Amino acid sequence: MSNQISEQHAKTLIQVIDQSSNWKLHPEKKRAFASTEEAQKYVESHNEPLCIRVPIAGADDHLTVKVTSSGEDMVFSNVSFEEPIEKKVHSSHLKLISSTVTDMLNERLPEGTKVSSF
């Protein structure tokens, strides 16, 4: 697995996450981007992984998913659990990002607990 994200994948991810009212995008170990413009500017000069902060529904907690690139695929790795899960989505299948991440996280949460909808 790569430790970076391509600029094209990062910009695509920014556009997708911008449509969410609950999920937030941020660089590793930094605060969430305040705007899409800030995120776009950041990825033009950094190719490090980005993270998605996904809240747990009905709780004051969240899970983190790291996003990197592997060829034409965007790689989503859950870093909130002891045993990481990894899912790949081809960059041409943007509509699958939210369902892929949601399914990946929900399969590890206790029964009756789900992540917030996209």
- Domain ranges in the chain are 7-108
- Which pLDDT tens digit goes with each residue over 17-27? 999 999 999 99
In this prediction, residue 109 carries a pLDDT of 94
CB 5 within 8 A of CB 45: no
CA distance 25 to 34: 9
User: Which residues is 116 bridged to in the sheet?
Assistant: none
What does the mean pLDDT of the chain come to?
92
- Which pLDDT tens digit goes with each residue over 68-93? 999 999 999 998 888 888 999 998 88
pLDDT band at 2 (very low <50, low <70, confident <90, very high): low
- pLDDT of residue 1 exceeding 80, the answer is no
